[in-house]
Structures are given as structure tokens and as C-alpha cells.
Amino acid sequence: MLKEKVLEELRSADGFLSGQRLADQLNVSRNAVWKAVKTLQEEGYEIVSVRNLGYRLDQATRRLSHQEIVRRLPFEPRLLIFEELGSTNTYVKDHHKDLPDGTAVLARRQTMGRGRLGRSFYSPPEDGLYLSLLYKGETMPRPELVTVAAAVAAADVLISYGLSPSIKWVNDLMLGDKKAAGILTEGELELESGRMKYLVLGVGLNVNTDVFPEQLKSQAISLKQAAGRTFDINEVAAKLLCALDAQMKRLSQDDLTYRETAREIIGSYNQRLYLKGQTVTLSGGNRPDLTGVLLGTDEAGRLLIRSKEETISASYGEYRLNPQKG
């Protein structure tokens, strides 16, 4: 297709390429080149067009593009990209019967991005990654550690960019003391068999956000703010899809290998646990606030806190640094 050839030429060009030169190289009219450029721009490629100079592809593409993600992946993903959705998790839940197993749904913005504990997830246009993966049937990972393994996968992606994330149990990725990403795993249990009918793994990552709303400023951070540079959102998306795919495959192994895998995943998770070894206060759930030293998590991903000579495990709640002792 012409647009792909135009894209290839622009990609290998060093700076601007004139419409005439492109037309000559590809043996088509200038008008055909112009149309191909227009289509590419509509698909999300940032192609700058300057009179008398021609076209230039802006390398730091900030707009999600199917092609730009797919070309970076070693496998052929089932990928849907929407301009806008209420929530990618809700979309996948609502359409789980019709969508093929393994489908990844991305939106350029969410109007009702959801987080854990009924919270919302700030999802401004273009600057973040809002992604949900559907698992059903054979490839379904064991649900217990999906959030934990997804956090490890997302942390690996940030590390590959030279950042130093930590994981705040159970589902947040932190850069310093601010949240860069959140994970929301949802699904439906089949009551007769006790097995999951389907599972939705949702990840939201603040990529190129410059400014957060006033009420989030002290809690949220983007990769751009942390690293001081713009990230190619398609590259980040591809890396995240790869890392999640690898971790989820590990969680769908048979019993023999699973135990060892689970141990490894929990090991990586604990190595990166936010505030590990410090005195924290855990709130939420059915118990009063609990203050103690954060030890880590057990093999099932429950949080372990040492308080008054006793080790308590928790599967629900949220912790913060204890201001008196921290």
C-alpha cells in the first residue's frame, strides 16, 4: 500500500522530504503522496508538512497507532484502539463474549477510567496508556497472581527506560512517592465449576502527562515528569504488551512449573515493594487501622505486617508511611 511506502521513506529520511521527491521515488503523483500523508496523519502519525520543504515524520509519536505498536511486537496481537471509551475495562467486560481471547483494547482517552476501591483513574487524551487485556479459555492465567505479575511486568518496562519504580501493594506503580500506574483486574466466576469465566487485566500508565489536576499533583507522576523527556507512546505500549504477555503465559503453566514460577514472581514483586521494611499504617477492610513494619507479601500475594510481636497478613486495604514512626 502506498501509505506504508510513504511511511517507510519518511522513517528513513533525515529531516524533510519533498512531495515531489516522494512522488518520484514511489512513481506516483504528488496528489497521491499528499493523500497517503493525510491518511497517515489521521491514523495518528505526527507528520509535519511545511511549504517548500515537504514532509517530516515526528519520531516521538504521541498518538497511539495500531501499526506502530504491531511492528514492534514479536507476535501478532489482537488489538483494538479507540479514540475514546468510558473505560477500557468496562468495554472488555461488556464485550467479553464477542471478543477473541487475548484481545487488547486501548483507548486514547477514558471518560470514566476506574481504579480499585471504587476510585477513578485520571485518563486525559493522548498522554497516557489505557489498556485492557481479555483472557478466557485455554490461555487464562491463574487469577490469584495476575495483578502481582502485571505489576512486575509494568515495573520491568519502566526499568528498561532507566527509571526506578517500586510497587505499592497491591496494584500501583510508584516513582518516588508518586503513582505512575495502576492495575485493575476484574473477572467473572463461574459458580458451578468455581473457575473464572473470563478475566480482564487493565493497566493505566501516565506516560507524557505534563500537568495533573490540582488534587492529583501531590500523588501522581508521569514517565515524562520523572525522566524529563517525551516518551514514544507506541513503544511504551508495545513493551508493556510484550511484558504482560510473557508474565501471563507464565501464570498459565501446569501445576508442576507453576509453584516455582509463582515463587519467582512473588520474589520480584517483594524486591520492588514500596516502603518495605518501614513502619506503615494499613487501613480499610473490616479491621481497625493496623500499624507495623511492612515485611513483604506471602506466596499468595497477601501483605505481611509485623505488629506487636505478631505477623498479620492482609488481603485488603491500603497502606501509607506511618508519620509518627516513618
Binding stretches for ligand BTN (CB under 6 A): 87-89, 110, 113-116, 119, 121, 130-132, 171, 182-184, 202-204
As measured in angstroms, the least distance from the Cβ of 157 to ligand BTN is 15
As measured in angstroms, the least distance from the Cβ of 163 to ligand BTN is 18
As measured in angstroms, the least distance from the Cβ of 114 to ligand BTN is 4
Buried b (16+ CB within 10 A) or exposed e, 170-202: bbbbbbeebbbbbbbbbbeeeeeeeebebbbbb
Instruction: Considering the complex, state which of residue 89 and residue 209 has its C-beta at the smaller distance from ligand BTN.
Output: 89
Q: How far is CA 31 from the centre of its chain?
A: 39
As measured in angstroms, the least distance from the Cβ of 62 to ligand BTN is 18
As measured in angstroms, the least distance from the Cβ of 306 to ligand BTN is 26
Which pairs from 194-197 meet CB under 8 Å and 24+ separation? 196/140, 196/143, 197/96, 197/136
Instruction: Considering the complex, state which of residue 103 and residue 110 has its C-beta at the smaller distance from ligand BTN.
Output: 110
Instruction: Considering the complex, state which of residue 114 and residue 272 has its C-beta at the smaller distance from ligand BTN.
Output: 114
Cis geometry, peptide bond prior to residue 211 (ω within 30 degrees of 0): no
Measured CA to CA, the distance from residue 132 to residue 119 in angstroms comes to 17
Instruction: Considering the complex, state which of residue 19 and residue 202 has its C-beta at the smaller distance from ligand BTN.
Output: 202
Is the CB of residue 253 less than 8 Å from the CB of residue 261?
A: yes
Instruction: Considering the complex, state which of residue 3 and residue 168 has its C-beta at the smaller distance from ligand BTN.
Output: 168
As measured in angstroms, the least distance from the Cβ of 248 to ligand BTN is 16
Burial of 111 (0-12, 13-18, 19+ CB in 10 A): exposed
Measured CA to CA, the distance from residue 153 to residue 158 in angstroms comes to 9
Measured CA to CA, the distance from residue 156 to residue 265 in angstroms comes to 12
As measured in angstroms, the least distance from the Cβ of 219 to ligand BTN is 10
DSSP, residue by residue, 126-150:
TTEEEEEEEE-GGGPPPGGGHHHHH
User: How many helices (DSSP H) and strands (DSSP E) are in the chain?
Assistant: 9, 14
Instruction: Considering the complex, state which of residue 19 and residue 113 has its C-beta at the smaller distance from ligand BTN.
Output: 113
Instruction: Considering the complex, state which of residue 187 and residue 202 has its C-beta at the smaller distance from ligand BTN.
Output: 202
Residue 246: partners with Cβ closer than 8 Å, 6 or more residues away: 153
